[in-house]
Amino acid sequence: MSKEPDRLFAQPLPQVPDFAFNEDVVRVFPDMIKRSVPGYPTIVENLGVLAAQFAQPGSVLYDLGSSLGAVTQALRRHVRTDGCRVIAVDNSAAMVERCREYLNGQDSMFQELLPVEVIEGDILALEFQPASVVALNFTLQFIAPEERLALLGRIRQSLLPGGALILSEKLRFNDPEEHALLTDLHVAFKRANGYSELEIAQKRSAIENVMKPDSLEEHRERLLAAGFSKVVPWFQCLNFASLIALP
Ligand SMILES: Nc1ncnc2c1ncn2[C@@H]1O[C@H](C[S@+](CC[C@H]([NH3+])C(=O)[O-])CC(=O)[O-])[C@@H](O)[C@H]1O
Ligand SMILES: O=C(O)C(=O)Cc1ccccc1
């Protein structure tokens, strides 16, 4: 994957445009996500380990909002269950192009990887096949809030017994003090990773209209309303968390 450092917001912009997963973002994405999302490498690596516990023979594993395929590759490496295959979906043409290149490169480096199909498309329009694992790794927060329940309902309907949804998100907190503390600590995390105050401020304004985090309570209630029976948080680092939802 590209090692280009993220300097997208380093210079003052007369007007900060809404954040989009375009070619500029794709070029710096691995660096951006690692320096912006506390716990990201731990979540991605362990998603493969978790998925291996839920994968059912002959089923599909979905990576929804796959970006450059980091989660897909973790699934392909860790899952050994017979007849499984991975379907990665993203609606950014630039992401999908680079994702395919990356995954093809991995095929030539590792043996025994699960087969994968990368689809350029909207996950809201996807016809789900029977699935044992669905990963939504920092994707639901970019879906319009009014679409989220219906999407989770469709995922729930596609899940096989013994399967799971793994949902990772940035969190909002209902308690104002808790929200302020974890937001400040996230800013400190970004600063420690070399982002300037200007970069942090411009990025905040770029994402505020396109990325709408929910609280843990909202996630839990919506997942139960979508038909999931159990919601188990397995990881939290500052204001970023990952949940397992069981059908
Ligand atoms: N409606 C949609 N349909 C399909 N894709 C979408 C849609 N909306 C947004 N996306 C895609 O969802 C991805 C969100 S990034 C996921 C990181 C990855 N999971 C990772 O673990 O590396 C999260 C982040 O950057 O914070 C982008 O690639 C969008 O194009
Ligand atoms: O950068 C942030 O503040 C975030 O919340 C995470 C993020 C990471 C990558 C793209 C958009 C948002």
User: How many whole angstroms from 68 Cα to the centroid of ligand 1?
Assistant: 9
Q: What is the pLDDT of residues 178-223, one digit of tens each?
A: 999 999 999 999 999 999 999 999 999 999 999 999 999 999 999 9
Tokens 């909202």 correspond to what residue? Answer: 218
Looking at residue 110, what is its pLDDT? 84
* 60 within ligand 1 shell (Cβ under 6 A): no
Count of Cβ atoms closer than 10 Å to residue 210 Cβ: 13
Among the bound ligands, name the one nearest to the CA of residue 68: 1
User: How many whole angstroms from 141 Cα to the centroid of ligand 1?
Assistant: 9
Looking at residue 112, what is its pLDDT? 87
**pLDDT greater than 80 at residue 1:** no
Pocket of ligand 2 (CB under 6 A): 19, 32-33, 36-37, 170, 203, 207, 211
> Is the whole model's pTM more than 0.95, yes or no?
yes
**pLDDT greater than 90 at residue 3:** no
Angle, CA of 166, 186 and 198, to the nearest 5°: 125
Q: Please, which pLDDT band fits residue 34 given cuts at 50, 70 and 90?
A: very high
Atom of ligand 2 nearest to the CA of 204: 3
Tokens 């304004």 correspond to what residue? Answer: 205
- Write the CATH number of the domain with boundaries 1-247: 3.40.50.150
Q: Is 148 marked as binding a ligand?
A: no
Q: Is 7 marked as binding a ligand?
A: no
The CB-side HSE value for 132 (13 A sphere, CA atoms) comes to: 20
Q: Which of 26, 73, 86, 90 to mutate to test the pocket of ligand 1 (most atoms within 8 A of CB)?
A: 90
Q: What is the pLDDT of residues 123-163, one digit of tens each?
A: 999 999 999 999 999 999 999 999 999 999 999 999 999 99
Q: Which amino acid is at 235?
A: F
Token reading at 21:
């997963």
ipTM passes above 0.85: yes
Q: Is 123 marked as binding a ligand?
A: yes
